[in-house]
């Protein structure tokens, strides 16, 4: 069945460092791919999405490219801030939304 | 728009008690779903609905019931609570599940933290 695998955390970075969180997926069809973010004590918010191969989703300085050949959707940001500290979930959607296990990002000043 | 609302925010139950977690959305979304979030396991789908009067099971449906009598509301019922149901529960909604479209983005409520003693 469909599945999402993302790197385990926590990822610990200093402010202004470069961020990559890896995400790979398995799907039978052509899913949409998402990154959701969960700030402490809150629900999930959509960060970005891509609906077809080679699409790049971007928001708040984060970006991810839908790579069909490597079945990946890695999240990147060039310069992280303390306010980016949160849990990040990769997900895919075909007939249901399937999540990865989440990666906690901690950014220190 | 209020978006997706959930009540209560926190709840403590004793084993064997029943309760209903409420979820409502005001975006006229057809698709609604319930997830539970447990440490190290991400979010797992409990039940979902593709429209009023239609519900189906997700990955972990045992111990939970749902109904969808209106487009707006999708309550989750625990018939006899067990400690294994201690979790954070999220409700979500979207226009559709048609992948590859702009309408499949799901919007989440703030969550209900449930503890079963």
Cβ contact A75:A20 at 8 Å:
yes
B92 touches chain A (CB under 8 A): yes
Q: Is the pLDDT of residue B111 over 70?
A: yes
- What does the pLDDT look like over B54-73, one tens digit per residue? 999 998 999 999 999 999 99
- What does the pLDDT look like over A42-78, one tens digit per residue? 889 999 999 889 999 999 999 999 999 999 999 999 9
Cβ contact B80:B18 at 8 Å:
yes
Burial of A20 (0-12, 13-18, 19+ CB in 10 A): exposed
Q: How many CB atoms lie within 10 A of CB B98?
A: 15
Q: What is the mean pLDDT of residues B35-48?
A: 89
Interface residue of B40, B42, B97, B108 to substitute, partner A, most A CBs within 10 Å: B42
B108 touches chain A (CB under 8 A): yes
Q: Which of A42, A96, A100 sits opposite B45 (nearest CB)?
A: A96
Give the dihedral sign, CA A54/A72/A79/A43.
Answer: positive
Q: Which of A44, A93, A99 sits opposite B99 (nearest CB)?
A: A93
Is there a cis peptide before residue A57, judged by omega within 30 degrees of 0? Answer: no
Is there a cis peptide before residue B5, judged by omega within 30 degrees of 0? Answer: no
Q: pLDDT value at position A80?
A: 97
Q: Is the pLDDT of residue A17 over 90?
A: yes
- What does the pLDDT look like over A89-105, one tens digit per residue? 999 987 778 899 999 99
Q: How many CB atoms lie within 10 A of CB B36?
A: 23
Phi, psi at residue B39, to the nearest 5°?
-55, 130
Q: How far apart are CA B47 and CA B35, in angstroms?
A: 8
DSSP annotation string for A6-27 = E--S-EEEETT--EEE-EEEE-
């Amino acid at each position: 069945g469909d599945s999402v695998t993302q790197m385990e955390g926590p990822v610990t970075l200093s402010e202004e460092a470069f961020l990559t969180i890896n995400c790979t997926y398995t799907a039978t069809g052509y899913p949409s791919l998402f990154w959701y973010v969960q700030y402490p004590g809150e629900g999930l918010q959509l960060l970005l999405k891509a609906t077809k191969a080679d699409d790049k989703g971007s928001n708040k300085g984060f970006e991810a490219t839908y790579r069909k050949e490597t079945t990946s959707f890695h999240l990147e940001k060039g310069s992280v801030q303390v306010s980016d500290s949160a849990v990040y979930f990769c997900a895919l959607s075909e007939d249901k939304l399937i999540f990865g296990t989440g990666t906690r990002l901690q950014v220190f000043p | 728009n209020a978006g997706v609302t959930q009540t209560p925010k926190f709840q403590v139950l004793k084993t064997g008690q029943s309760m209903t977690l409420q979820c409502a959305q005001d975006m006229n979304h057809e698709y609604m779903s319930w997830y539970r979030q447990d440490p190290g396991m991400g979010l797992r789908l409990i039940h979902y609905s593709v429209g009023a009067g239609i519900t189906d099971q997700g990955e972990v449906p045992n111990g939970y019931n749902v109904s969808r009598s209106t487009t707006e509301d999708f309550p989750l019922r625990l018939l006899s609570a067990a400690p294994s149901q201690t979790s954070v529960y999220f409700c979500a909604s979207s226009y559709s599940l048609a992948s590859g479209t702009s309408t499949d983005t799901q919007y989440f409520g703030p969550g209900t933290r449930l503890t079963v003693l």
